[in-house]
Structure 1
């Protein structure tokens, strides 16, 4: 086994240990957070971002964010997004940006009017700073990440390094989940999202990050496993993440992972030569069979309740009235706010306040699209169009970033069920903008256009 393969295995084992250690001593999580942020800053500063250290550290933070939150170590709720913003900004200082990234500067400018509106319209009982920060930190994180990544030249090998950075903390998360709930069968009693199988944290967010785990370990298995041992390790993690994701009983992350993998296989199939196409077909068949196996095991462990969950039934087998667990009510209220305030919207953070006054429902948005419409009005429409079409146009012009469409889909599907409460959709979206090349001159590797 090569040295880099051994390093990967050792790093995985270290993160298995970290997950177990944090479970035994949760207080370590806070120290881990502080050390991580300081190390990331130093790592980028010391290397002057010559090898995309900003991307590596951001990927790591994105993956570890849920673990820090579920163990109370995040210091403040938006630690992940603010860390990514800082790392991206530091990377820009050392490596510059593409002159064409102005489109994402424009996107950030579009956010400002709604911030001004909310500053004057939020009630005195509302913590204005927190209300604005909670809702705007995701789009700002996306904007900075997109500016850094836009048409930035990067080798495919280095992109695989970013994928590896995603994988490491995810290993700690899945170890923590197994220690927190060693017996799934004992804690599953209904078909609602399950906090016990989600480490005591929000199942929606845990499902989101586990879905990302399924995909990144699948990419490792497919494109970054040069030995039989690595193939077995990465395949094992794909199955483990699929199982733990399914038993959260939160469907969004699982559906997203399936679509990401499906799109990746389509891209690979159409880009492959004639001899490689049958191999891709076999991979699809084996993936399907493995998926059936994991589903069958999950069904046994949940006494068949997971089947009812995905059939939108309760534990007694009766079909639930809501197919989106009540989120359509939130979406309808936000669309009404948009139609009532189509120009500048109601202001950042104000949709929750208005919904509570008009409907009595006190809940944050689960859908970033309707939230953007409600809070930013027509400017939100323009911003969403920029976010939706730019990665597609870049991919059509240069298809070497074979992961681009999968990254884009992760963002699109995630913001429809989990908004942008995590840093993950913002940063992963930005990766779809990278100009990936098989081999580029060393001096140009770290620069934008």
Structure 2
């Protein structure tokens, strides 16, 4: 365990250094973006995916996406999602997949009418390819990832290792945010989402990935810290990532991360004996105290503005009429588009263009649920039902998956405030479909039912 601890510490240090190097030489971000899939593919090919290497590589890509986007490393907005799809397909070639995963192939089929409609009715000045890819890449990434992970057997310890691999580049993101803006107090002037504390990138996406990081390092701290040094390291990472998430002033990711932790504690408590319930209670108490400490420090650094943000108030303490940052109007517009086009919808990617006509300005969907309804109509409803119900049905016989509820909640809440602009909700959703076991027979680790 000592060697593992040293290795983990070194990995954390390396990823902090990566942030420093790219902050100093931004061009290296593009090199970083190229090296990851190359090294990942060579690792998968060398081991022929015997240990689900594709999941480790994909997890790392998901964790690093926001960092690459904020530092200019992404070659386009769909770069990571496309690469994740590629690696999932590679994994299927090496390790097959469950025939019962056809339900997600059917989900992909349900997207076709909306794509076809866009290709036939889009205006001449509309970039059809861009409109379709921007809106469909997320659902496709989810479906392909789900097909690979559907009921794939995996030990709980391996699942945690996948989360750690995802969490390492989130450390890089948090360190880069500190370098970009070391003094929060100097840049916070109002209660709006803050681009300065978000590395100059979209606070919503930054908050989302940091919220996921909160959950990852909480699990490391509570379930996998085997020494005092590890506890201190994971405790520091949890506090650091949580603080940087809160000061983005984007509430969605922080609330989601907190609810993921609550879901985990709920399942831990539910399946524990009397002694275990006492330990969970102690963890809950310590978590509450840590939360109070982080919030108090954040409040001091933001001169009380963070409380006003979460109370939906402006800088003068007046309650805002709009609770969701303009999302209500977009969601209302999507609902109207659905009611006007209930069968086929308006076509994949056409919602943005029609919102411009209705609202007077371009507005991309922040809510994947209303987008599916508006752009895919009845087919979108069927697709949404598949996504909502399939994981719940699998969980009935998959009770050892301690993270199931947390993963499901992350996906559901994230697509409601940030749609599927990054790969994280798609990949984490698919992780909920894994058949997680505490003990697993040899030679069964890469199998599917």
TM-score by length of 2: 0.99
Distance in 1 of aligned mates of 2:111 and 2:365? 17
Q: Tell whether 2:407 aligns with 1:407.
A: yes
Shift, 1:359, TM fit: 2.1
How many aligned residue pairs are there? Answer: 449
Aligned to 1:237: 237
Aligned to 2:251: 251
Shift, 1:386, TM fit: 0.8
1:65/1:422 contact within 8 Å kept: yes
SS at structure 1 position matched to 2:72: coil
**Partner deviation per Cα, 1:26-58 (whole Å, 9 max, x = no partner):** 100000001111111221121111111111011
Distance in 1 of aligned mates of 2:169 and 2:398? 31
- What is the 5 A alignment of 1:21-40? 21-40=21-40
**Partner deviation per Cα, 1:42-84 (whole Å, 9 max, x = no partner):** 2112111111111101110001000000011111111111111
Shift, 1:394, TM fit: 1.2
Aligned to 1:290: 290
SS at structure 1 position matched to 2:333: helix
Shift, 1:358, TM fit: 2.1
Shift, 1:147, TM fit: 0.3
Aligned to 2:448: 448
Aligned to 2:170: 170
Shift, 1:397, TM fit: 1.9
Shift, 1:441, TM fit: 2.0
Distance in 2 of aligned mates of 1:175 and 1:110? 41
SS at structure 2 position matched to 1:154: strand
Q: Tell whether 2:390 aligns with 1:390.
A: yes
Q: Tell whether 2:204 aligns with 1:204.
A: yes
Moved over 4 A (4+): none
- What is the 5 A alignment of 1:205-224? 205-224=205-224
**Partner deviation per Cα, 1:340-382 (whole Å, 9 max, x = no partner):** 1111111100001111112212110000000000011011111
Aligned to 1:345: 345
**Partner deviation per Cα, 1:383-416 (whole Å, 9 max, x = no partner):** 1111111111111222011101100100000000
Distance in 2 of aligned mates of 1:212 and 1:388? 20
**Partner deviation per Cα, 1:157-180 (whole Å, 9 max, x = no partner):** 111110110111011111100000
Shift, 1:190, TM fit: 0.4
Distance in 1 of aligned mates of 2:272 and 2:130? 49
SS at structure 1 position matched to 2:436: strand
Aligned to 2:65: 65
Aligned to 2:126: 126
2:338/2:377 contact within 8 Å kept: yes
Q: Tell whether 2:415 aligns with 1:426.
A: no
1:194/1:249 contact within 8 Å kept: yes
Distance in 2 of aligned mates of 1:283 and 1:58? 31
Aligned to 1:55: 55
Q: Tell whether 2:265 aligns with 1:265.
A: yes
Aligned to 1:374: 374
Q: CA RMSD in A?
A: 0.8
Aligned to 1:319: 319
Distance in 2 of aligned mates of 1:442 and 1:115? 44
1:163/1:220 contact within 8 Å kept: no
Structure 1 unaligned segments of length 5 or more: list them.
none
Aligned to 1:77: 77
1:116/1:347 contact within 8 Å kept: yes
SS at structure 1 position matched to 2:115: helix
2:333/2:358 contact within 8 Å kept: no
Structure 2 unaligned segments of length 5 or more: list them.
none
**Partner deviation per Cα, 1:58-113 (whole Å, 9 max, x = no partner):** 11000100000001111111111111101111011101101110111111111111
Distance in 2 of aligned mates of 1:398 and 1:160? 17
Distance in 2 of aligned mates of 1:446 and 1:208? 30
2:171/2:241 contact within 8 Å kept: no
Aligned to 1:137: 137
Q: Tell whether 2:50 aligns with 1:45.
A: no
Aligned to 1:365: 365
1:114/1:345 contact within 8 Å kept: yes
